[in-house]
Structure 1
Amino acid sequence: MRPRTVDPRVTDVALGIAMALVVAVVIAADRDAAAHAGPGAYLFAAGFGALVLLRRRLPRVMVVATVLAVFVYYALRFAPIGMALPAIAALYSAAEVRRTGWAVGGGAVLVAVATYYRVTGDDAEEYLTPYDLVTNIALAAAAVALGVAVRLSREARQHEARAAEQRLHAERLRIARDLHDMVGHDLSVIALHSGVAAEAVGRDDDAARSALAHVREATSGTLHALRSTVRVLRGPVDATSPAPGTSPTGLAGVEVLAEPARAAGLRVRVELDVPDGALDGAVDAAAYRIVQESLTNVLRHAEATRVTVAAHVAGDRLLVRVADDGRGAGPRLVPGSGISGMRERASLLGGSLVVHDDQEGGFVVHADLPTRLDD
Structure 2
Amino acid sequence: MTKSISFLVQLSAFALAIASAPAACAAAITVPLPLRGAPPELLAAAMVALAALALSVLLQRRSRTADERSRSLELQLAAERSALADVENALAGSHEVLCRLVHGQEGVRESERSRIARDLHDELGHRLMSLRVELALQQAAMRGTSPAIHDKLTASIANLDASIWAVRAIVAGLRPIAPGTTLRQAAERHLAEFARLHGLDYRFDAGSDPLGQPPTDRETDAVLFRALQEALANVAHHAQATMVCVALVDSARDITLKVEDDGTGPAVHPQRGSGLDGMRERAEALGGTMRLAGGRRGGTVLSVTLPVRRESLMA
* Bin for the TM-score computed over the shorter chain: 0.3 to 0.5
TM-score normalized with structure 2 length: 0.44
TM normalised by structure 1 equals 0.38
Give 1 or 2 for the bigger CA radius of gyration. Answer: 2
| Bigger relative CO (Cα 8 Å, ≥ 6 apart) | 2
